[in-house]
Structure 1
Amino acid sequence: MANSRKSKSNSVFSKAENVLREQIQCGNHLAVALSGGVDSVVLLDFLVPLSAQMQFSLSAIHVNHGISINADQWSIFCRNLCRSSGVPLKVVRLKINQEPGVSLEATARDERYRVFGKLKADYVVLAQHLDDQAETLLLQLLRGAGVRGLGAMPVVRHFAAEINKQGIGAGTSELSGGRPRILRPFLEVSRREIEDYASEHALQWITDESNDDISFDRNFLRHEFFPLLEKRFPSYRTTFMRASRHMAEASCLLDELAEADSKACVVPGKLHVEDLRNLGFLRAKNLLRYILAQQGAILPSTIKLEEILRQMLSSRPDTKLHLIFGNTEVRCFKGEVHVRSARSLRKGTSPVTEWRLVWKGEQELTIAELGGTLKLTRHEGAGLNLQKLSGQAVTIRPRRGGERLRPDCNRPRRSLKNLLREASLPPWEREALPLIFSEERLVCVPGIGVDCDFQAVAGEPGLLVEWQPTPDLVLTGEKVS
């Protein structure tokens, strides 16, 4: 009898093994997200012998959220389990600061994924299973999610796409390469089958007391709703999985449509309002949602997204449109849409003008007040004349109004305000430029020019000045998969 149960268990988990053999290469590093619960304990036990067979390295990561009074005991359990299994373990302690209007569960999940994203591994392996898929689908449906939200959790997903799906905000730099991929080999395995495996293999695990608290939506579905549903519809798990996959396919088709539309509307790297108008409202909304999701923006609600789009479509070239939602701001300037990170915004305050830096020969200066980096590169016969700067106090400070500059030796000195306007810089960029002074005289404005009296000519040592602000989120047609 025991052998028949083992055979059944092995048959159930053969699909999970096939997933690993399809995805994993020799020498890959897999990090198991180990909570100490039955699901992750079974996952670890399942992976240990396969790591030797398939020749991948295996470690574990345990995140101590500090929410439960038993959290430290769970960490000790995971340490002992990994020690007995010969698996290296990293324990990360978090202090969860709950934000108003955001559930503690969601905040803990977001922080956990941030930890996962920093791991040096090829894959972070999660023990999410068939029942988790069903619970997630119904929760998303009850929240009024669209096809993207209703799409099934995939077996493997790049981390950038995963945090977009989870709604965890990140800027473009945070979405860049080097992140592990998320791997879920148990998605066709039910909770009951996982528990049977644990019993057959005499495994030990911990039980989170919060799992029985039906004040949490997921627990209510798990303990109250799904047992009732199973009496009438015993195969609801696989049916829900099939429905989620249909939604995921529909979401992919919408993304492909958005990619095609972006080729007509995003030129060069900016979204054009007039082209959005030509798409029609529904396609324009699909494109805007796609672009925001690509850039790691926390997507607004459907009502908010539609209002943002309506304001864009009704804007004129001289309209000063400025909208903020989540971690993102949207501005319109001369018919172009600029999507930017809002992390550095000081809401309700005016631009900081009371700061000054003294240049002491550095090749690079990070200016936190303006959110960018000033690069100063020595170059003969171009840029600022270093000889004329010698012996003078060279300072860097922001605009205060009234500055004047003469970048063209054939024209008189002019107001910086007019020079910036002629350069067609968006208003918010005009206020965020570092100005370079020799004593009290303005001698250089990056992107505008060097004052005539301070320009290096052939044979003279010069200094090329380049301002690199934190960039607008780059709008492209590249798909994050």
Structure 2
Amino acid sequence: MPKSRASTIRTKSHAPTLSAVQLELNQFLSTHIKSGQHLLLALSGGLDSCVLLHLLANAKSSLGIEFSAMHVHHGLSPNADTWASFCEQQCQQLQVPLQMSHVQVEKNPNLGLEAAARRLRYEALFNAVVADVTPAFIVTAHHEDDQAETLMLQLMRGAGVKGLASMAAIDPVRRLLRPLLVITRQQLHDYAKLHAITWCDDESNANTHYERNFVRHTLMPILAERSPAISSVLARTASHMAEANTLLDDLASIDAQTLVLENSVCVSGLSKLSQARAKNVLRFWLARNHLAMPHTEQLAEILHQLLNAKVDANINIPLQHLSLKRFQQRVYLCREQVAQDFDLVWNGEQYLDLPNGGQLIFKQVVGTGLALKLGMTKLRITNRDGGERFKPNVLRPTRTLKHLLQEANIPPWQRANLPLIYWHDTLACVPSIGISHELQAHGEEVGLTISWQDARVD
């Protein structure tokens, strides 16, 4: 009798066992998310995101996270309104706040319909604000099978190591979380069946005209006949590629410490590296400036031009909305600009934006700059007109500004946009060159320094 009683007590006190899927999600979130951070779930209404909606709702209280959802209404399907209503019902049942974003997908000659819709979807998610706060992370329901398909797509496109790394579980730069990358589609389906979760099927997912659907419905089943665990194997390969890409980035970061200075790279330093290592640091530099990677042949041609051109060659390589220009032993990433005439007055502000996208920065310091004792108010800022003469050094004669700029190694394309600062009719300051010798602060005198930032490339 006591034995039976003890058995009854154990049965009553036994807590429900969390599923493997829920455990995986909880562990992922506890590792990467701080208590109180807000997550925004990308909710399509399909199987994957509906399961993740329920998983997050279950984890909310125990992990101390805040989350809401967003459904992006593309209007591409006749069922789009039905999907939106379904998402509203699901979120109401689980008491999850939902944002609805309507977007208009327009034809883009450079993007297919699927890619254009995806871009608009992510733009809506990244721009979302919840209670006046930007979410810490956007959460998507990509799983292991999606990862395997992505790797196959990248292989079909001839991607390099970075592309073959496919999707990262956590992308802090883009604020993306993908907590289900180690969970299979079948596991999500089984979880939904066990917990009576319903979802909507997008009819376009069966259309093998789209590359991903071709891989999913045609290619992967053939591979699975020979290798039943093909999705897990390919996902593991993507993980290996991610590690290799991290090593390449680490190497590029080391090289960049000596080769990269703001928006330029040392050409002579590049020439001392192997071709593979030189291309690696170029990729790293371009990525840091938010540029899409040139294809293999284009990158090889860029490197060839940079390393083999004569020192005085005028190199101008178009690169998306920017261009690569070489001056002496450095290559610069530049925004194409048309020189503009301007005539501005400085009224004491610390920052003054220029019409060409540049900016002047004013600071008061002791012992250098324009002597404030002379009454440096209402300085006039204008562009070059040609023929200016300047004397920043009392020990040297007055010289043409053109010669001073050449002597200072100012790149030619920057000279056209260089702002000149006048005090009355006197050329008082030329950024990157100096202060007129007769207007300089000395000793304990308070001076005004003026620095110039050319138009940013990002």
- TM-score over 0.5 for the pair: yes
Q: Summarize the alignment of residues 273-312 of structure 1 with structure 2, pairs less than 5 Å apart.
A: 273-312=267-306
User: Hey, what does 2:180 align to over in structure 1?
Assistant: 186
Q: Summarize the alignment of residues 119-134 of structure 1 with structure 2, pairs less than 5 Å apart.
A: 120-134=134-148
Match of 1:420 among 402, 405, 416: 405
Compute the displacement of 1:444 (Å): 2.2
* Shift in CA distance, 95/438, structure 1 to aligned 2, threshold 3 Å: farther
Contact 1:299 1:326 in 2 (8 A): no
Contact 2:88 2:98 in 1 (8 A): yes
Three-state SS of the structure 1 residue aligned to 2:293 is: coil
Distance 1:70 1:409 in 2: 78
Compute the displacement of 1:240 (Å): 1.3
| TM-score after normalising by structure 1 | 0.80
Compute the displacement of 1:427 (Å): 1.6
Contact 1:297 1:328 in 2 (8 A): no
User: Hey, what does 1:28 align to over in structure 2?
Assistant: 37
Query: Alpha-carbon deviations, 1:105-151, whole Å to 9, x = none?
Result: 22333344444445523332110011111210111111110122112
Distance 1:220 1:460 in 2: 74
Compute the displacement of 1:236 (Å): 1.5
Contact 1:407 1:451 in 2 (8 A): yes
User: Hey, what does 1:365 align to over in structure 2?
Assistant: 352
Contact 2:72 2:100 in 1 (8 A): yes
Distance 1:460 1:269 in 2: 35
Distance 1:309 1:196 in 2: 51
The alignment yields a C-alpha RMSD, in angstroms, of 3.1
Compute the displacement of 1:309 (Å): 0.6
* Shift in CA distance, 417/32, structure 1 to aligned 2, threshold 3 Å: same
1:401 counterpart letter in structure 2:
G
Distance 2:97 2:180 in 1: 22
User: Hey, what does 2:3 align to over in structure 1?
Assistant: none
Compute the displacement of 1:58 (Å): 1.5
Three-state SS of the structure 2 residue aligned to 1:425 is: coil
User: Hey, what does 2:201 align to over in structure 1?
Assistant: 207
* Shift in CA distance, 228/254, structure 1 to aligned 2, threshold 3 Å: same
2:418 counterpart letter in structure 1:
L
* Shift in CA distance, 337/451, structure 1 to aligned 2, threshold 3 Å: same
Distance 2:47 2:423 in 1: 67
User: Hey, what does 2:223 align to over in structure 1?
Assistant: 229
2:345 counterpart letter in structure 1:
V
Contact 2:370 2:376 in 1 (8 A): no
Compute the displacement of 1:363 (Å): 3.0
* Shift in CA distance, 463/34, structure 1 to aligned 2, threshold 3 Å: same
Query: Alpha-carbon deviations, 1:136-171, whole Å to 9, x = none?
Result: 0111111110122112423223225xxxxxxxxxxx
1:157 aligns with 2:171: yes
Larger RCO, structure (CA 8 Å, separation 6 or more): 1
Distance 1:72 1:389 in 2: 67
1:81 counterpart letter in structure 2:
Q
2:349 counterpart letter in structure 1:
E
User: Hey, what does 1:331 align to over in structure 2?
Assistant: 325
Three-state SS of the structure 1 residue aligned to 2:272 is: helix
Query: Percent identity between the aligned chains?
Result: 39
Match of 1:354 among 317, 341, 345: 341
* Shift in CA distance, 449/70, structure 1 to aligned 2, threshold 3 Å: farther
Contact 1:330 1:337 in 2 (8 A): yes
User: Hey, what does 2:157 align to over in structure 1?
Assistant: 143
User: Hey, what does 2:60 align to over in structure 1?
Assistant: 51
Query: Alpha-carbon deviations, 1:309-361, whole Å to 9, x = none?
Result: 11111134323322222244322222123235x4xx35xxxx23233323344
Kindly tell me the number of residue pairs found equivalent between the two proteins.
Answer: 438
* Shift in CA distance, 95/446, structure 1 to aligned 2, threshold 3 Å: farther
1:402 counterpart letter in structure 2:
G
Compute the displacement of 1:417 (Å): 0.9
* Shift in CA distance, 299/464, structure 1 to aligned 2, threshold 3 Å: same
User: Hey, what does 1:163 align to over in structure 2?
Assistant: none
Instruction: Return 5+ residue gaps in structure 2 as ranges.
Output: 1-15, 129-133
* Shift in CA distance, 455/18, structure 1 to aligned 2, threshold 3 Å: closer
Three-state SS of the structure 2 residue aligned to 1:90 is: strand
Match of 2:394 among 409, 416, 420: 409
Distance 1:70 1:374 in 2: 54
Compute the displacement of 1:267 (Å): 6.9
Higher alpha-carbon Rg: 2
Query: Alpha-carbon deviations, 1:198-220, whole Å to 9, x = none?
Result: 23323333333332332211122
Three-state SS of the structure 1 residue aligned to 2:19 is: helix
Compute the displacement of 1:70 (Å): 4.8
Distance 1:260 1:388 in 2: 48
Distance 1:380 1:44 in 2: 60
User: Hey, what does 1:476 align to over in structure 2?
Assistant: none
Contact 1:381 1:461 in 2 (8 A): yes
* Shift in CA distance, 213/441, structure 1 to aligned 2, threshold 3 Å: farther
Distance 2:442 2:272 in 1: 50
Contact 2:381 2:420 in 1 (8 A): yes
Three-state SS of the structure 2 residue aligned to 1:159 is: coil
2:193 counterpart letter in structure 1:
S
Structure 1 stretch displaced more, 316-325 or 436-445: 436-445
2:427 counterpart letter in structure 1:
L
Distance 2:388 2:108 in 1: 43
Contact 2:340 2:356 in 1 (8 A): no
Match of 2:361 among 344, 350, 375: 375
